[in-house]
Amino acid sequence: MTNGNGSPAEAAPAPQLNVLAQYTKDLSFENPNAPASLGPQAQQPAINIQINVSANNVGENEYEVILVIEGKAENAGKLMFGFDLSYAGVFRILNAPKDSLHPLVMIECPRLLFPFAREIIARSIRDGGFPPLMLDPVDFVSLYRQNLERQAAAAQAASGKPS
């Protein structure tokens, strides 16, 4: 294949994703009922986890992606522990097709951040006197799709048009 003047056509540059920085933006751990909550419990605590992803453009081709993980463990209506972590990274994305940029930022970037956030949470809970909580892997594709559906429903509700 040539570019019309007999020279080989130049291949499009391959997409690149670089991690420029990773950091804890905010970390909170509560153990409000210690030491009573640290003793043996009659039943397993109910654990509730919420995960959200947001992103900001911080420069040309650079994005700050923030992974927010909140959770709490309750037993018999009493809070055993609670945590809130905002873990972020700055990513440089080059040569990505425009239609792939948003999914790349909102799926692939948090997928790269998650193992580090998981370790911070496990360590914080362990340091709070509990066994470490090892979060299950997160399906960021499903989370992305749920957020798109929620945004579409909110936009439709705002426009006042029935579906």
Tens of pLDDT, residues 14-68: 889 999 999 999 999 999 988 988 888 888 899 999 999 999 999 999 999 999 9
Total-model pTM: 0.83
pLDDT of residue 5: 56
- Segment 98-110 shows an average pLDDT of 94
b (16+ CB within 10 A) / e for 55-73: beeeeeebbbbbbbbebbb
pLDDT top residue among 99 and 28: 28
pLDDT of residue 2: 46
Q: How far apart are CA 124 and CA 83, in angstroms?
A: 8
CA 129 and chain centroid, separation? 26
- Where does the pLDDT of residue 1 fall: very low under 50, low under 70, confident under 90, or very high at 90 and above? very low
pLDDT of residue 8: 54
Answer left, alpha or beta for residue 4, where phi above 0 means left and psi between -120 and 50 means alpha. Answer: left
Domains, the chain, with CATH or none: 16-132 (3.10.420.10)
pLDDT value at 7 more than 80: no
